[in-house]
Amino acid sequence: MAADILSAAGIAVTVYDRMPSLGRKLLIAGRGGLNLTHSEVIERFLARYGEAAEHLRPAIAAFSPDDLRAFSETLGQPTFIGTSGRVFPKDMKSSPLLRAWLRKLDAAGVAVRLRYHWQGWTSEGALSFIGPDGKDISHSPDVTVLALGGASWPKLGSDGGWAGILQKEKIDITALRPANCGFAISWTDIFRQRFAGQPLKRIAMTHDGETIRGEAVIAHYGIEGGAVYTLSKRLRETIEKAGEAKLTVDLRPDMTQKQLAAPLGQPRGKQSLSTFLRKASSLSPPAIGLLQEAAAGKLGAMPAYEMAGLIKAVPLTLTGTAPNDRAISSAGGIAFSEIDEAFMLRKKPGTFAAGEMLDWEAPTGGYLLQACFATGAAAGRGAVAWLKARA
């Protein structure tokens, strides 16, 4: 996005990327449908960024969700609003958008250098790279935009290795931690072996007074999935403070405890407990397994009303986050105090930063890509203004 802004201003641009091809994270983001942004009202939209909202507000105001939709349209990728309010390209995929965008940049004269791994700056202030042949290469541009990502997709080049480089320059970096991530739970071996990889559908999850409806997936290490990701910031912060976090799962959020208890109070007869629960409360096998895991062998002896209460609030103890390489995004990064209103590093004049390098996080739903596009555009505009002021 920064390259797009700079080249449109008539400035010669070279993009250096450590990977063998461009846009790999954008492609992976569209694996299940490219969720570009969200259609909700702007104040509610901005609130999704928490304490970083005011820092991101000017960039998102200047390149809004509507602007992103219009930009996608210029690339031949019209968008639509889904039932959840999320915005997608009509064909849902990221590859057509990326191909059209790269063609546009190529037509604008943007040069691309692949398999160049940035190492920081030389003693003379030039950019230092390890090139595709393994040799050291330096380059001294008039202006630089860093867009190196967070730490959540190391296989795609986004491993957070830049943090140490900037810290050597005395730039304040908030530690990179998993965001939109799963959490560790000490499952019993039998539960893990039987249910890892299976979904919990149409549930509600609650932590610290916040309840989210959605789905989750039982993982071999714990639990992950959309509902978990939405709560991940609070859950992670609780674990950081207390060493663990409590999460409750409502397996039947559309029924009350009393409504559930009535069929559970009927005689079971010769049915197995699992068959009885499936018929009496319409629970899936992984949901029943979760109940049995929580009850530790005592589920069959529970009175109906108590069993219904457990269905409404299965307690889970989360002991840690999944590692960065299993997270959708990462929290932490360059402190906003280290950049000015144009997204330029105060301690490195002429160097700008954008995207997940900055210290913000957001839930899934289009907020991640929107902030990356918007801050990329803001850094690009800042770089243009910097060059013009020195022309």
Whole-number pLDDT of residue 254: 96
Q: How confident is the model at residue 324 (pLDDT cuts 50, 70, 90)?
A: confident
Average pLDDT over residues 197-203: 97
Average pLDDT over residues 206-218: 96
Q: What are 118's strand-pairing partners? A: 129
Among 338, 372, 391, smallest CA distance to 149 is for: 372
Range(s) within the chain of domains with CATH label 3.50.50.60: 2-178+329-389
Average pLDDT value for the chain: 96
CA distance 252 to 262: 14
For 303-322, what is each residue's pLDDT tens digit? 999 999 999 999 999 999 99
CA distance 278 to 287: 9
| Fold entry, domain 2-178+329-389 | FAD/NAD(P)-binding domain (3.50.50)
**Secondary structure (DSSP) of 305-329:** HHHHHHHH-EEEEE-EEPPGGGSSE
**Secondary structure (DSSP) of 47-83:** HTTGGGHHHHHHHHHHS-HHHHHHHHHHTT--EEE-T
CA distance 375 to 199: 35
Among 125, 158, 164, smallest CA distance to 144 is for: 125
Whole-number pLDDT of residue 89: 97
Whole-number pLDDT of residue 297: 87
Question: Do residues 96 and 30 lie in contact, with contact meaning Cβ atoms separated by under 8 Å?
Answer: no
Q: How confident is the model at residue 32 (pLDDT cuts 50, 70, 90)?
A: confident
Among 287, 286, 288, 295, smallest CA distance to 274 is for: 288
For 218-274, what is each residue's pLDDT tens digit? 999 999 999 999 999 999 999 999 999 999 999 999 999 999 999 999 998 899 999
Where would I find the H helices in 124-266?
Answer: 162-168, 189-195, 226-230, 232-242, 257-264
C-alpha 147, offset from chain centre? 16
Provide the whole-model pTM. Answer: 0.90
Among 258, 253, 230, 237, smallest CA distance to 314 is for: 253
Q: What are 158's strand-pairing partners? A: 153
CB count, 10 Å around CB of 181?
Answer: 24
Whole-number pLDDT of residue 31: 86
Among 316, 296, 312, 315, smallest CA distance to 304 is for: 312
Which residues, at least 6 apart from 107, have a Cβ–Cβ distance to it below 8 Å? Answer: none
DSSP code of residue 155: G
Percent share of the chain, pLDDT over 90 = 95
For 148-174, what is each residue's pLDDT tens digit? 999 998 999 899 999 999 999 999 999
